[in-house]
Structure 1
Amino acid sequence: MKLNRLKKRIMIGLIGTAALMAFTGCGKKEAKSIDVKTTANSLLTELKYEDQLSEVNYDLVYDMEDINITESVVYVSSGATAEEIAAIKCETKEDAEKVETALKERVKEQKESFENYVPKELDKLDKAVIVKIGNTVVLSVSNEDAKAKEIIEKASK
């Protein structure tokens, strides 16, 4: 009789443990995401820029017509500097990877443009910050790359 009670207790314990694991998602981590507007605004207001940055639609600056973008905030300089901010959220991680590639291509093109035009801007472009978090990609081109990384990292928590 005592053996049956012990078996029942063990079974109840196992069932309880299985239910608990099912409800907690077995330790799955939720994909991180960031608020596009808040992050772009933090980069704009917390970093120092030499030029005036203006908000523009992403498709005026980047070739991303085959990418499903759900939200974006882009700031560009007047052209006198390479300073730039982009925070772009996509429908899928695959789209975010395409955006990351497009932003890297943009930095490369900017280096070619500024090489003979304003060579001192190459320092900023060499230290351009491009971070992909979940379905969102953030670009920051400024003199404060370390601080930009901190802002983006803080936004992803």
Structure 2
Amino acid sequence: MNKRMIFLMLTIVFGLVITGCSNDKSSTIEAKLPAKEMADQMVKEVEQPALIELQADQVKDFYKLDPEKLEEYSIRIPMMNVKTNEIAILKVKDTKDVPAVETAVKERAENVKKQFEHYLPDQYENAKNYKLVTKGNYVLLVISDKADELVKVYDSFFDQK
């Protein structure tokens, strides 16, 4: 009787441990604002050069990314091609697509870096020091001399747990 009781207790404890460890908390992370409003607030709080919003067809061209994989997004690129500043907030529909979106974002950052490698040294440094932040289904790319400040504002859109 004791062996059965111990076996039953261990089975229950093991089941609870597995259930607790398998809970995917990353997909439950939600921002307080939609992507566009987050980007608006970021450029309002941390001054950036003039940026324009990318449209769906441009997302494919610039990021080699299908906008259908995204629930929502806001991508701001420089109005003039003498700056590297860029802010991209991407909310991915399906968690399994997050790694592919991260790869596309890294490739975009590398392309920006290559564009400025022999052109404008200060902008090349910005591009080299880009920030990529993933929170659940949200992926952020920031290229800016004030990237750390922009990431801090971005972090404020999520509840700290």
* TM over 0.5, shorter chain: yes
Change (3 A) 1:67 1:99: farther
- For residues 41-93 of structure 1, the C-alpha deviation after alignment (integer angstroms, 9 at most, x for no partner) is 122211122x3101112234210138611111111102111111111111112
Task: Give the counterpart letter for 1:130 in structure 2.
Answer: L
Give the match's secondary structure for 1:155.
coil
Aligned to 2:75: 74
Aligned to 1:125: 127
Give the match's secondary structure for 2:87.
strand
Aligned to 1:47: 46
Give the match's secondary structure for 2:36.
helix
Partners of 2:44 and 2:106 in 1: CA distance: 24
Aligned to 2:37: 38
The Cα shift of 1:150 comes to 0.8
Give the match's secondary structure for 1:87.
strand
The Cα shift of 1:97 comes to 1.8
| C-alpha contact (below 8 Å) 2:72/2:91 kept by paired residues | yes
Partners of 1:110 and 1:148 in 2: CA distance: 18
**Normalising by structure 2, what TM-score?**
0.73
Partners of 1:76 and 1:140 in 2: CA distance: 10
The structure whose Rg is larger is 1
| C-alpha contact (below 8 Å) 1:67/1:95 kept by paired residues | no
The Cα shift of 1:139 comes to 1.2
List gaps (5 residues or longer) in structure 2.
Answer: 1-18
| C-alpha contact (below 8 Å) 2:127/2:143 kept by paired residues | yes
What is the alpha-carbon root mean square deviation over aligned residues?
2.2
- For residues 96-125 of structure 1, the C-alpha deviation after alignment (integer angstroms, 9 at most, x for no partner) is 221111111111111111011212112211
**Normalising by structure 1, what TM-score?**
0.74
Aligned to 2:54: 56
Aligned to 1:104: 106
| C-alpha contact (below 8 Å) 1:82/1:124 kept by paired residues | yes
Matched residue count:
132
Partners of 2:134 and 2:110 in 1: CA distance: 18
What is the identity percentage for the equivalent residue pairs of Structure 1 and Structure 2? 24
Give the match's secondary structure for 1:112.
helix
Task: Give the counterpart letter for 2:147 in structure 1.
Answer: D
